[in-house]
Structure 1
Amino acid sequence: MTNGSQPEPPITAPFGDWLRWALTHHGYDLDERGIQRKIADDTGIPPATVSRLVRGTSQPDVATCYAIGRTLRVRVMPILVRAGHLPPEALDREPHATERPSPTTEEQALTALGLTNPDDRAAVRAMINALTAKQRREGAN
């Protein structure tokens, strides 16, 4: 099988079709001997359940959907839709990840802490610099 060269099946595709695609896309060679046991070990799903899911003869329960999402590091909501636990419209209402706000500047942080005295601000900066240097030293060892 090719690793992830096929497009993702539509949300309405049978669950087994999507699962075979997802597993292949994430590096599992479904033709490899013992691969279903490896998938079972990686996900914590019983091997017989993995077999039924891959063959498309069974639908996963919610806990199994979560285990698949966690293992493959994919969002669980679409898996729940694919498994029939949620309607496709649920994806329209799913909160989307917002862009990360820009990091707080040192000045903003000191102000947010209520530090207005220049000596106090300097003391906090010195402590941060000392802790950062210590972390770098310890991380290098």
Structure 2
Amino acid sequence: MKNSKRDTTPARPHASASPAEFGRWLAERLESLGYDLSGPRSGGRTAFAADSGISPSTVTRLLRGEMPTDTRILRTLAEAIRVDYPVVLVRAGVLTPDELAAVQQPSTSPRITPEQAADQLGITDPAERKVFVNMAKTLRRTPDGGEQQLAE
């Protein structure tokens, strides 16, 4: 049956090698939460189904490694086992760890200096270049993009 302790150990995203591995991972997670999965009549699957709102047949399929095509089930599962949804998506093979990392920390173009921007824009006149560089530096350090200083 369900353990009343709240597990707060964060799960790390690791890709499951196979659906069967996902089933084993889920079984370990459920057991760590206090669900008895020692046998077909142990009550853990039924208790988890009742607690999570996932049908008993779906719980059985998940534990067997039969993956759902509906990611809403995986979201519900993630909430029920207290694991971040993206971690469950990786474990279920919906995302790879690299895809998850790309979504969580998208690469951005490297910032260029005002001087580099002037070069790329072809601003070569020394006076125009100085105005451009100073304006870019001013706009970068004001919280509102420089509009307030310009309006004053």
TM interval, short-chain normalised = 0.5 to 0.7
Task: Give how far 1:9 is off.
Answer: 9.9
Deviations 1:3-39 (A, max 9, x none): 99xxx89533421011111111222121262221111
Q: What is the aligned partner in structure 1 of residue 148 from structure 2?
A: none
Give the conservation status (yes or no) of the 8 Å contact 2:67–2:92: yes
Q: What is the aligned partner in structure 1 of residue 147 from structure 2?
A: none
Give the conservation status (yes or no) of the 8 Å contact 1:9–1:18: no
Does structure 1 residue 29 correspond to structure 2 residue 28? no
Does structure 1 residue 59 correspond to structure 2 residue 67? yes
Q: How many residues are treated as equivalent by the alignment?
A: 90
Choose from 19, 26, 42 the match for 2:26: 19
Give the conservation status (yes or no) of the 8 Å contact 1:9–1:17: no
User: Which protein has the larger Cα radius of gyration, Structure 1 or Structure 2?
Assistant: 2
Unaligned ranges ≥5, structure 1: 97-141
Unaligned ranges ≥5, structure 2: 106-152
Paired with 1:90 and 1:10, the residues of 2 have a C-alpha distance of 12
Give the TM-score normalised by structure 1: 0.54
TM-aligned CA distance change 1:90 to 1:25, over 3 Å:
farther
Residue 27 of structure 1 aligns to a residue in which SS?
A: coil
CA RMSD of aligned residues (A): 2.7
Give the conservation status (yes or no) of the 8 Å contact 2:13–2:91: no
Q: Which amino acid aligns with 2:67?
A: Q
Q: What is the aligned partner in structure 2 of residue 46 from structure 1?
A: 55
Give the number of the structure with larger relative contact order, counting CA–CA contacts within 8 Å between residues 6 or more apart: 2
TM-aligned CA distance change 1:36 to 1:63, over 3 Å:
same
